[in-house]
Structure 1
Amino acid sequence: MRIVVQADRFDPGAELNRFSAPLEGMGAVVSFSGIVRQNAAGDLLAMEIEHYPGMTERAIRTIAEEAAGRWTLGDVLVIHRYGALAPGEPIMMVATASPHRGDAFEAAEFLMDYLKSRAPFWKKETTRDGADWVAARAADEDALDRW
């Protein structure tokens, strides 16, 4: 299990290859890469992400360990960035490996839903008109109900 919280940009393809290379006996690898998307107005300059070092990694590890306890997983990878990120940049990545695809898909979705709503990150959108903190979305909270 690898949990990384970093400012540096990462290459999702290279990370997926690194994650997959040592796996044995796994029949499925599922990955998701989140990208900073442009806002509806088209004027997003940066998504600024803040976190508390140590606390954030522990919280993500707890979520990943719960996933590993619920599904048969050979490995888990979570990468999440912080700092000022431009539209189009990778912001996060989740990868799960399992002997069976169902477990890999479900565990990856579980991780993504919980990371979106429960990981201690604070996001601020900076546009030409200033900066505003991003509020929690009801749809993200509702996604947790299925777990």
Structure 2
Amino acid sequence: MNRKSLIPLMALVVLSFAAVAIAKGGPGYGGAQGQGPAISPENQQKLQDIFEKYDAKMHPLREEKWRLNKELDALVRSGQADKETIHNLVEDLSKNRDKIYELHKKMSAEIEKETGLVFPMGKPDCGFGGPCGSSGHPPMGHGRNFKGPGGGCPGAQN
């Protein structure tokens, strides 16, 4: 190709990419589409207060969950794991997750009562809108225990 035809061709390619980049809007791309209704300053303050109240209750439970996960991981990797010890740790983790989930349900109910906003429920151990939240998408890296869209999350449509 000669230089006269190469420059316009390159300009066309650059403009095509620019057009695609500008046209790509919506969440995650700098656009405001699909963000939902604006929240009034009064409701924002109520939400902040509710989040702080429940975070103080959930933080120790999350710390305990982290500790139990690390303990279980270390036990399994050591090769010294016995079935009863593993079972007890898994049972403790399940109880911990249930406590987090119950607090999350209470927080969601309080948010709806105080502000009229519906707070989505996610899997108890994946936080708010975590990898298996209410998006309906399966968790990344699902394996043997994959239970369909929602990954077996409470309230998910499987």
> Higher relative contact order at CA 8 Å, sep ≥6: structure 1 or structure 2?
1
Which structure shows the higher strand fraction?
1
How does the TM-score come out when normalised to structure 2? Answer: 0.26
Q: Rg bigger for which structure?
A: 2
Which structure shows the higher helix fraction?
2
How does the TM-score come out when normalised to structure 1? Answer: 0.28
